[in-house]
Amino acid sequence: MADLLKPKILKLESGAKYQRLFNKDSGTRGMKSGHVTLKEGEEIGEHSTNDSEEALVILKGKGQLVINNEDATDFEADAVLYVPPDTIHNVKNTGKGILEYIFITSYASEKK
């Protein structure tokens, strides 16, 4: 296990819709992350954070974060979004051109 826990550098793949960056298999303890590129009008699809919290780092484009299929928040490049645990959400590209972002999830334990 000690071999897996060391610094790593990855290159983002240009044009790929989805690229897994880090997860348990690549050597993290609980963090998962990925690189997402959505074309005009495309969306990632409704899903839940379950017992994790999620940050979205917006690199390019404009979009909308939809919570529970009703509350929508518009965003654009150079924004960072937070999605709490147990939240059903979707990300939609609402701009011209591509929407590109990095997501980072981590298990959310309660403080004791």
Q: Pick 2 or 60 by higher pLDDT.
A: 60
The domains of the chain, with CATH numbers, are 18-107 (2.60.120.10)
The CA–CA distances, whole Å, from 111 to 68, 80, 108 equal: 26, 24, 9
Q: How far is CA 85 from CA 23, 46, 74, 89, in A?
A: 18, 14, 20, 11
pTM for this structure? 0.86
Distance CA 53, CA 104 (A): 8
Q: What is the pLDDT of residue 82?
A: 96
**Considering the chain, what is the average pLDDT of its residues?**
88
Residue 27 confidence (pLDDT) above 90: no
